[in-house]
Every structure is written in structure tokens, then in C-alpha cells.
A and B are shown apart, each in its own frame.
Chain A
């Protein structure tokens, strides 16, 4: 094996070796908060180093017999994942320190989960897909139950684990079907086999692809495989929830994109209808079920379900612009979600965290900066122009309309309007309701994430911010889905 292989997987190597090294540092340093704090900072450094390594990469290459690919599509998503993971780690200090959870195991598990996500993004083979997915999921199950003395957190971890194991089983079953009918686990060979005329009516292929899509839909929390999301989001410690809502979604969407576009382009009529149904169901449930929520973490859980539905519109369009739309949507979604969860982390009163929406009432009178930032994020999530959330929807709806998916687009716009109701309700409560007791001053690092996210959302309309993202996403998408 020549050394160029090592260069291609350099970001993954940095994460793997970094995680093992940090584990050793954590184990051999005296117990306590100091080691947790130091290891968390070191983990952020490792993530940044990996992001630099991704950024330095160039060209397209497939290594390990084509199981692992690296091109501008994977590099785009890997940078988003690494930045998202680093920002969520930055938000953990204050909250975990109060909950006596600032342990070194958390950053190590986050590093390993992020490594799994990078492997998912680069996966070009069913075995590589499964290994990446399991590495990520297993680490996520553990961090969901990280506050192990808390009943809700343990329940979240257990629920996530049992349902996740079930979905992994379905995915494996589907993968075995695909292997059975095509004789290979490699995406390229599956694609070649699926193109053959006698495969068009092959039940085994359809069956396998349905089961794999079920498994992946569970991982992105798309309806009807979303049941775990609100409970897990509410039960897990808030910094963990912020992590769940960001990077893993991107990795699973990347997996979905590459699996459908690289392995099964020949049978797109088979999976397109599934994607369209899942997309509509997710948008509808995300909009309507969120209306009655009183807990802000549950609200954001339903919001993330709805957002996945919107992102899937771009996949349903099944062309370069649609894929680019998904990538743009994911970047903006991560920025908004991280900001929103940073706001949730900043909701503390007398040293205790509050999660109820009514706790926000009259926030504009007690803390105008906080209220403005959260309002900007809510407006953006609702899709009000000229904020980033509007452009995210713009770039997925436009290709769908061009591809002739009119019913899907119309339903998308309608549910978007319904969804705007509950986002704007939060703004209304903050600005027009009777003021409740003010929050404690926000911790600096959490505030930095809030401000950064709001600034990105506002500045997206500027060409050097939005334009850069759009250009990079289009370049990345054209690698995966060449223009016809």
C-alpha cells in the first residue's frame, strides 16, 4: 500500500489517533473537571486539525478497492460536519460543568462519532456504509444516556439504542438483499447491475433498496421513522441534543445522497416515490405536531423533522441543482440549529436551566440582545426573506419545480407557512408578553455561537457569504450528480 492512501484518509487518521490519544490523556490524568476541560479543548483542536486536513485535500480518489472515496462532495460535507461538531463541543463547558458532567469521555466519544460521520460521508460500499453508521450511532447512544443518574437521559439513551438497533437490522437486511441480487457490495457494481434490463423488474433489488432506505430514514429522523426524536432530544442533556441535531443529520443525508445517486441511479423511479412520500410526511408532521409543544427542545425536535422533509425535496428532484440545494440546505440548517440550541443553553435562571417556551416571555424587555438573536433565528427557520432560511428553501424548491414536482412543491410551501406559525409564536412571546424573571448572564462561548449563527443567517444574502456556500455546494453536487 503506497503512502498516497494515507494522505487521502488523513482527516480520518487525525480523528482516530486523536481520539485514542485523548482517551489515554484522560485516563491517566487525575480525575476531575480539569482533565475534562483540557480534553474538551484538545478535542476541539483535533477537529479543527481534521478540518484543515480536509480543506487541504484535492482531486478525486477512491481507495481501499473503491470503498472509500474522497472528492469535493465529501470535502464539502466533512468540513460542515467538523465545524458543527467543534461548535457543539464549545457549548458544552458551562452546562456540563454545572451538571458535574464535564468528563473526558464525552469529547472522546464525540470525536469517535464524528469519525463515523466522516466514514459515512466517504462510504462507497455497503460494508463501509454500515461500519461508519454503526460507529457513529453507537457513540451517539452512549452520549444520549451520558447523564446516567437522570431518568430522562437514561430513557433517551435506551430508546435511541433499541430503535436504532432495529433500524440497523433493517438496513443490514436490505443490504444483504442488494448483495444477493447484484453479487457485490460496491456501489459502482450495484449501479452497473441495476442498469441491466432484467433488473428493472427484480423484486429483490426493490426490496433491498426499500429496507436500506428505511434504515437511513430512521437515522435522519424522517417520518414515519421519527418516533424517537422528540423523546431523545428532550431527554438527552442539551449540549448533546445540539450535537444530535447538527452533524449526524448531515452525515446521514450525505449517505442517503450518495447511496441513491451512486448506487441506484438506474432505478431512480423506484426510490424517488419513497423519497417524495417521506418528504411530504416529514414536512407535514414537523409543522403540525410542533404547534402544541411547550418544551423548546421538543419544538426544535419537530422543527428538525420538518427540516429533513424540506431537504429531501432536493433529493426528490434528482438532478445536480437539487443535490446542490440539499447541500445548501444542510449548511444553513446546521447554522440555524446550532444557534437555536445555543439559545436554549443560555436559558438559565438562578443557576438552573429552563426549557419551557413560556420562560421566554417578555425576554425583549429583560435581555434585548438575546431576544433579537433568537428572533432572527426563528424568522430564519420560518423562512422569512432575506434571511438564510428563506434561501435554503429557495434552493430546494426551485429544482423541484423545474423537475415538475408541483404537488410536492405546493405541499412544501403550505407546510412552510404552517410551520411559520410556531416559530413566530416564540417571537411573539418574547416581544409582546408580560416579562418573566430575566435570565442569568450568558456564558461567553455559548454567546459566541449564538452571535456567529445569527450573523451567518443575516449575512447569507451577501454574495461573499451566500455566494461562496452556493458555489461550493454546486461544485460538490456536480461531482456526485453530473449534469445531464
Chain B
């Protein structure tokens, strides 16, 4: 009884928050609604006794991803009205093509059976004796270790690619060189000039070794 009550609470809130993400005009509000949706989804996971996934959702998605979104939305000056204008311009063609594909797919699968063949196991049994975390770990790091490492290499390639294609070592940028600053002594940092009485001295031009490049 209580679990049903909580299910409806979390489910309704998740759906409302999810709809608000795409309906609010203010992007910062949208991200905040997204965080609300994540929290409610985590609640649903807890009801399903998938406590590890619930923790993961809160830590990774709320803690890192959503906060990152918030930063991006606040830092970048994105004109959403302009983006929407482009979307509306192409929406008709997109909707037409999408509609045709949808009708085709419905016709296709409505015409003949689209069934999971019975001899093959459609879903794996839920392991009863071990914890969630351990079950996931065994799948991810033992059974699928090859895929896990392969995916890791793909991410490495993505990282190398992003750096290779975008990193520019800019010349003429003034950077702090701590060792040079520390090594500076009276011999290099001080100049004694003799000021003639009643005259003035034009200070020598300050030289920045890096700015000269």
C-alpha cells in the first residue's frame, strides 16, 4: 500500500518535471526541473530495490551532469528563440519524413508478427543471493570486461581527437613563470641611474621575453 503510494508520488512528479523541462522558457528552470526528474527516477529505482542505480543516478546525474548543464546554460549565451526558429523552419519536413517512416513501420509490424522467439531467453533472471552492486560489477567487470575496455579505448580516441583537432598552442600569451620570478635578483631587477640635478630620466622600456615572440 505504502509502496504504491510512493510509486504514484514519484511517477507523477517525474512526469510533471520531465514535461516542465521542455515546456519552461527559462533554460535555468529547465535544468532545475531536470534535477527534480532525476531525483524522482532515483526514488522509483529504490522502490524496485535497485539501490545502486538510485545512488548512481543521484551522484552521477544530479551531482555531475546536471550541475555541468547548469554551468553551460549559465555561461554560454545561447539564444534559444533563435534555435527554435531554425527548428520550426525545418520541423515540417522533419515531421513529414518522420511520419512516413512511422506509418511504414506500423504497417510493417502490424502486417506480420514481430515476436521474440520463445527458445531464446528474453530476460535474465534476477540474482537473489548477491547484492545489486556485486551483480552489476560481475557483469560489467567480469562477463563484459572486453566490451568495457573497448568502450574505454573509444573514449580515449575521442579525447585524443578533440585535443588534436582543437588545441592551439597560442604564441604571445603572457604566462607566469615562477622559476624566472624567483631567480630574479638585484642584478637583473634593479637599475641604478644617476639623475642629473634638475633633469629627468626616461625609464628603460620594460622587456617581456614572452611578449616579444
- Measuring CB to CB, which residues of chain A are less than 8 angstroms from any residue of chain B? 1, 16, 20, 23, 31, 63-65, 67-68, 103, 105, 108-109, 112, 115-116, 119, 127-128, 131-132, 134-135, 138-139, 141-142, 145-146, 148, 157, 180-184, 189, 193, 196, 198-199, 201-204, 207
Once the chains bind, are A196 and B119 in contact (CB under 8 Å)? yes
What chain A residues lie within 8 Å of B111 (beta carbons)? 203
The residue from A116, A146, A204 contacting B114, defined by CB atoms under 8 A apart: A204
Q: A105-B164, A131-B147, A146-B164 are in contact. Are A138 and B114 (CB under 8 A)?
A: no
What chain B residues lie within 8 Å of A146 (beta carbons)? 164
Q: Which of B57-65, B154-162, B184-192, B200-208 contacts A (4 or more CB under 8 A)?
A: B154-162
Interchain Cβ contacts under 8 Å between A and B, 12 examples: A1-B145, A105-B163, A109-B164, A119-B150, A131-B151, A134-B154, A138-B154, A142-B164, A145-B165, A181-B117, A182-B117, A184-B120
Interface centre among B116, B122, B150 (most CB of A within 10 A): B150
What chain B residues lie within 8 Å of A148 (beta carbons)? 164-165
Q: Mark B118-158, 1 if CB is under 8 A from A, else 0.
A: 01111000000000000000000011111101110110111
What chain A residues lie within 8 Å of B149 (beta carbons)? 16
Q: How far is the CA of A427 from the CA of B174 in the complex (A)?
A: 57
Q: A131-B147, A182-B120, A196-B119 are in contact. Are A138 and B158 (CB under 8 A)?
A: yes
Q: How far is the CA of A181 from the CA of B122 in the complex (A)?
A: 9
Report the 7 A-B pairs with minimum CB-CB distance, sorted nearest first: A183-B120, A142-B161, A131-B150, A64-B146, A105-B164, A204-B114, A138-B157
Check if B198 is an interface residue, CB within 8 A of chain A.
Answer: no
Q: A105-B160, A112-B157, A138-B157 are in contact. Are A198 and B147 (CB under 8 A)?
A: no
Within the complex, the shortest CB–CB distance from A283 to chain B, in Å, comes to: 30
Within the complex, the shortest CB–CB distance from A27 to chain B, in Å, comes to: 10
Check if B115 is an interface residue, CB within 8 A of chain A.
Answer: yes
Interface residues of B in 46-70 (CB under 8 A from A): none
Q: A105-B160, A109-B161, A181-B114 are in contact. Are A16 and B146 (CB under 8 A)?
A: no
Q: How far is the CA of A142 from the CA of B169 in the complex (A)?
A: 19
Once the chains bind, are A203 and B161 in contact (CB under 8 Å)? no
Within the complex, the shortest CB–CB distance from B141 to chain A, in Å, comes to: 11
Once the chains bind, are A128 and B147 in contact (CB under 8 Å)? yes
What chain A residues lie within 8 Å of B145 (beta carbons)? 1, 64
Once the chains bind, are A142 and B160 in contact (CB under 8 Å)? yes
Q: How far is the CA of A119 from the CA of B149 in the complex (A)?
A: 12
Once the chains bind, are A112 and B156 in contact (CB under 8 Å)? yes
Check if B112 is an interface residue, CB within 8 A of chain A.
Answer: yes
Closest to A122 in B: B146
Within the complex, the shortest CB–CB distance from B150 to chain A, in Å, comes to: 4
Check if B113 is an interface residue, CB within 8 A of chain A.
Answer: yes
Contacts beyond the supplied A68-B146, A128-B147, A182-B120: 8 A-B pairs with Cβ under 8 Å: A63-B146, A67-B146, A115-B153, A131-B151, A183-B117, A193-B117, A202-B114, A203-B108
The residue from B120, B158, B160 contacting A23, defined by CB atoms under 8 A apart: B160
Closest to B148 in A: A131
What chain A residues lie within 8 Å of B142 (beta carbons)? 1
Q: How far is the CA of A31 from the CA of B168 in the complex (A)?
A: 13
What chain B residues lie within 8 Å of A20 (beta carbons)? 156
Check if B109 is an interface residue, CB within 8 A of chain A.
Answer: yes
Q: How far is the CA of A134 from the CA of B161 in the complex (A)?
A: 13
Within the complex, the shortest CB–CB distance from B114 to chain A, in Å, comes to: 5
Q: How far is the CA of A65 from the CA of B144 in the complex (A)?
A: 9
Within the complex, the shortest CB–CB distance from A363 to chain B, in Å, comes to: 36
What chain B residues lie within 8 Å of A115 (beta carbons)? 153
Q: A64-B145, A127-B147, A132-B150 are in contact. Are A202 and B157 (CB under 8 A)?
A: no
Once the chains bind, are B160 and A109 in contact (CB under 8 Å)? yes
Within the complex, the shortest CB–CB distance from B179 to chain A, in Å, comes to: 17
Once the chains bind, are B150 and A181 in contact (CB under 8 Å)? no
The residue from A64, A132, A139 contacting B161, defined by CB atoms under 8 A apart: A139
Closest to A201 in B: B112
Q: How far is the CA of A182 from the CA of B118 in the complex (A)?
A: 9
Interface residues of B in 67-123 (CB under 8 A from A): 108-109, 111-117, 119-122
Within the complex, the shortest CB–CB distance from B148 to chain A, in Å, comes to: 10
What chain B residues lie within 8 Å of A16 (beta carbons)? 149, 153
What chain A residues lie within 8 Å of B112 (beta carbons)? 201-203
Closest to A184 in B: B120
Q: How far is the CA of A105 from the CA of B111 in the complex (A)?
A: 52
Once the chains bind, are B119 and A65 in contact (CB under 8 Å)? no
Once the chains bind, are B153 and A112 in contact (CB under 8 Å)? yes
What chain B residues lie within 8 Å of A64 (beta carbons)? 144-146
Interface residues of B in 19-49 (CB under 8 A from A): none
Once the chains bind, are B160 and A183 in contact (CB under 8 Å)? no
Once the chains bind, are A135 and B157 in contact (CB under 8 Å)? yes
The residue from B108, B116, B157 contacting A183, defined by CB atoms under 8 A apart: B116
Once the chains bind, are A193 and B164 in contact (CB under 8 Å)? no
Interface centre among B151, B156, B161 (most CB of A within 10 A): B161
Q: How far is the CA of A182 from the CA of B121 in the complex (A)?
A: 9
Once the chains bind, are A135 and B153 in contact (CB under 8 Å)? yes
Within the complex, the shortest CB–CB distance from A197 to chain B, in Å, comes to: 11
What chain A residues lie within 8 Å of B161 (beta carbons)? 109, 138-139, 141-142
What chain B residues lie within 8 Å of A103 (beta carbons)? 164
Interface residues of B in 168-190 (CB under 8 A from A): 169
Once the chains bind, are B153 and A203 in contact (CB under 8 Å)? no
Once the chains bind, are B154 and A65 in contact (CB under 8 Å)? no
Interface centre among B121, B142, B158, B164 (most CB of A within 10 A): B164
Closest to B149 in A: A16
Within the complex, the shortest CB–CB distance from B165 to chain A, in Å, comes to: 5
What chain A residues lie within 8 Å of B113 (beta carbons)? 202-203
Q: How far is the CA of A103 from the CA of B167 in the complex (A)?
A: 13
